[in-house]
């Protein structure tokens, strides 16, 4: 039986329908349309896409059509219970105009400083880079120091009064923080709270606003020290605050990157006396490995500008190699235990530790904690058996 011509659609009709659908969806998406545009790798193409999305968002805002999809999303998240999960929390995720440290401290009640000047931490200015410093500030950064007139004895930590750590960073933190907790074992004089945000870093504050999250977390909870692991997603060009493109392996990139790192560290030092900064691991892919070695070297130079013992660098690039008995630490995926069984220490992607691998990688941090703090019972390392 022959189909009637009116049941068919011409290619032009199909293209027109598709175009109208895209336009309608874009207008309804409103301001949130910038999110997929911001994930375009090429900076120049991304700039064009963001300009187009700004125009569409402006029209949607003026006509009042941009509220439908956000309201529907909010209702769905509330109904499903997903709004309680940090991955769906829009207070920190996908914020194009991420607040700075200064704005957070000035505008957020949670970040207000003590009224008593004697109890206020010292101001931490953002340092400037000298021409011959490779983009890294050449002077140590002033940090909060204890009141010399205080007669309070140092705390002695135990399983009853544990040292409280806040461990945050990218997806690698999930394995490292869990590995540290397992390394410490039950009834440890150290406790670990952590937050791992996939694909986050020092650079893309529009994706996840770590300064705002850290400020809010440290204002709401008491911690004795902070552990940072960020940088595995930072090997990329980015725009600085003046809209200039910062290109990798240039002094300008390193200076701008140093400011971003220092902002987060300065925020932590407003609440805790010491920050532990975990370095980059060894990975399987040679190109990625080379990128991480560059990030590691830049972070080493940034950390060295803080006061000794204030920002403690914790390298982990050779941890698995040392555990395997290698003199030069390289990429290691499995370790052989004393009883002859093998344990997988890196996941199949060649980039992330397993929890067992996290145990080995965190031995250096545990050793440093034992040196830096007073314990009535020295933390004991529990490795895979």
**Are 20 and 13 contacting, i.e. CB atoms less than 8 angstroms apart?**
no
DSSP 23-52: HHHHHHHGGGGHHHHHT-SSHHHHHHHHHH
Are 160 and 68 in the same domain?
no
Please indicate, yes or no, whether residues 77 and 109 belong to a single structural domain of this protein: no
Q: Are residues 178 and 38 in the same domain?
A: no
Q: Could you tell me if residue 332 is inside a domain? A: yes
Element (H, E) at 269: helix 251-269
- φ/ψ of 270, rounded to 5, equals -70, -20
With respect to residue 360, please indicate whether it lies within any of the assigned structural domains.
yes
User: 10 Å Cβ neighbour count for 247?
Assistant: 12
Q: What is the pLDDT along the chain (385 residues), one digit of tens a residue?
A: 455 556 666 777 677 776 666 666 655 555 555 456 555 656 566 667 656 665 665 665 666 655 666 677 677 767 777 766 655 666 676 666 544 443 333 333 333 333 333 333 333 333 344 433 444 444 444 444 444 444 567 899 999 999 999 999 999 999 999 999 999 999 999 999 999 999 899 998 888 899 999 999 999 999 999 999 999 999 999 988 788 899 999 999 999 999 999 999 999 999 999 999 999 999 999 999 999 999 999 999 999 999 878 999 999 999 999 888 775 568 999 999 888 889 999 999 999 999 999 999 999 999 999 999 999 988 999 999 8
CA distance 21 to 37: 18
Are 277 and 314 in contact, with CB atoms under 8 Å apart? yes
The answer to whether position 2 is within a domain reads: no
Instruction: Note the pTM of the prediction, 2 decimals.
Output: 0.73
Of residues 8, 10, 343, the one with CA closest to residue 179: 343
Query: For residue 224, what is the DSSP state?
Result: S
Q: Of the residues 40, 57, 84, which one is the last residue of a structural domain?
A: 84
Q: Are strands 225-229 and 275-278 parallel, antiparallel or unpaired?
A: parallel
Residues 160 and 256 both lie in one domain: yes
Q: Which residue in 168, 271, 264, 178 sits closest to 220, CA to CA?
A: 271
Q: 40 lies in which domain range?
A: 12-84
Residues 79 and 197 in one domain: no
Of 189, 263, 191, 200, nearest in space to 234 by CA: 200
d(CA 203, CA 183): 31
State the DSSP H helix or E strand holding residue 20, giving kind and residue range, or none if neither. Answer: helix 11-29
Spatial separation of the C-alpha atoms in residues 205 and 223, rounded to whole Å: 24
Neighbours of 96 (CB within 10 A): 15
User: 191 and 51 in one domain?
Assistant: no
Residues 6+ apart with CB under 8 A from 149: none
Do the domain assignments include residue 296?
yes
| Beta carbons of 96 and 49 less than 8 angstroms apart | no
Domain with 232 in it: what CATH number?
3.40.50.1110
**CA distances to 283, 325, 343 from 335, in Å:** 15, 10, 5
| Same domain (yes/no): 22, 126 | no
Structure tokens at 276: 């532990």
What was the pLDDT predicted at 330?
81
């Amino acid at each position: 039986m022959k189909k009637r011509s009116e049941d068919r659609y011409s290619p032009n009709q199909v293209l027109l329908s598709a175009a109208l659908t895209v336009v309608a969806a874009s207008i309804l998406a409103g301001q949130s349309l910038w999110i997929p545009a911001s994930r375009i790798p090429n900076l120049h193409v991304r700039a064009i896409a963001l300009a187009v999305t700004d125009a569409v968002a402006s029209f949607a805002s003026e006509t009042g059509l941009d509220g439908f999809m956000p309201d529907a999303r909010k209702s769905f998240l509330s109904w499903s219970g997903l709004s309680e999960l940090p991955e769906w929390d829009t207070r920190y995720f996908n914020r194009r105009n991420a607040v700075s440290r200064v704005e957070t401290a000035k505008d957020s009640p949670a970040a207000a400083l003590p009224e008593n000047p004697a109890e206020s931490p010292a101001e931490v200015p953002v340092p400037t880079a000298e021409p011959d410093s490779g983009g890294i500030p050449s002077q140590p950064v002033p940090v909060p120091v204890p009141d010399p007139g205080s007669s309070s004895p140092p705390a002695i930590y135990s399983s009853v009064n544990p040292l409280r750590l806040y461990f945050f960073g990218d997806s690698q933190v999930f394995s490292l923080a869990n590995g540290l907790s397992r390394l410490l074992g039950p009834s440890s004089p150290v406790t670990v709270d952590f937050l791992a945000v996939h694909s986050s870093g020092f650079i893309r504050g529009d994706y996840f606003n770590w300064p705002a999250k850290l400020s809010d977390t440290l204002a709401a909870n008491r911690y004795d020290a902070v552990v940072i692991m960020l940088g595995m997603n930072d090997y990329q060009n980015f725009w600085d605050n003046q809209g200039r493109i910062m290109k990798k392996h240039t002094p300008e990139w390193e200076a701008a990157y140093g400011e971003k790192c220092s902002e987060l560290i300065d925020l932590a030092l407003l609440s805790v006396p010491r920050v532990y900064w975990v370095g980059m691991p060894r990975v399987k892919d040679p190109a990625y490995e080379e990128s991480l070695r560059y990030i590691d070297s830049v972070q080493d130079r940034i950390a060295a500008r803080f006061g000794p013992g204030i920002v403690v660098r914790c390298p982990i690039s050779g941890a698995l190699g040392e555990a395997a008995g290698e003199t030069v630490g390289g990429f290691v995926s499995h370790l052989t235990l004393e009883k002859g069984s093998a344990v997988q220490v890196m996941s199949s992607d060649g980039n992330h530790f397993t929890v067992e691998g996290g145990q080995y990688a965190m031995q250096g941090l545990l050793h440093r904690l034992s040196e830096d703090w007073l314990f009535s019972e020295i933390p004991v390392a529990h490795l895979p058996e």
